[in-house]
Structure 1
Amino acid sequence: MENTLTFQGTYYQRSIRTGDLETGSEWDVHKIWEKIKDFFSGTDSKKICVAFYNLFKNETVDKTEQAKALWELMLSLTDDSKDKLSLEPDLKNVDKVLVTLALPGESTAFSASIEISELAETYSTFFMKKRSSHDGLWCVDKLRYA
């Protein structure tokens, strides 16, 4: 069964030149998510699993600190991309991360606010699908049940 990520809330399209925000569409959000999966599919999955486990294993950790740590983790994995993907804490809701994607040659960027817990769960599911059974599935279980 195929697992898909659905985002809740409002999606925005931002003009890079003016900074103006306009209401976007779900297609924009799917474009962001596909790009995120592309970034992660070419990376050492065990390293990412360990990082996510360490980030989310303690439920009492400050949500703002979680968001900052997640942002830094993601940025370190996306530095070599020709597309600009950024994550930052959502200042209106500390349980969420704001994901923004700017595509080369386009004058707009697409943003979506994502629940931190949803992002972690979705990545663990994504890694389970892409790895073989002998390639470190232990970290997916730890993420899910930590």
Structure 2
Amino acid sequence: MNRVPMTVEGAESLRAELNNLKKVERPAVVQAIAEAREHGDLKENAEYHAAREKQGFIEGRIQEIEAKLSHAQVIDVKAIEPSDRVIFGTTVTIIHMETDEEVTYKIVGDDEADVKQKKISVNSPIARALIGKEVGDVVEVHTPSGAVEYEIDSVEHL
């Protein structure tokens, strides 16, 4: 079985969602189905069908999260001795060699990636170029618009 890297925060977020689905959403939809059943004829009962559809979504999401957590290799980057080397979970500041534009990304698992929050997947082209490199190294990232060079400015274990 392949282990999938995940940060501590990512695992906690999934556990919180799972807890909410099991303790809040699932009982609420079961209650909605019971109430809709009381309205009689189920063939033409929109509330019943909507509640059953929502129940299917909730159960599917519960299974999906449980599977992700069972395959997760949770990595606590704060517990790893800090160094200048880029590894999974580190927060990396890079400088665009042509524009001097500075950008900071945290390297996370696929499910945690969110560019708006500056979290990039370990499997993204930028992260793949950065992993294993050190502060001061220049890396070439292949983008749809061509190759771009970045210098690694800092690596933090946050």
| TM-score normalised to structure 2 length | 0.25
Rg (Cα) greater in structure: 2
- Structure with more of its chain in strand, by fraction: 2
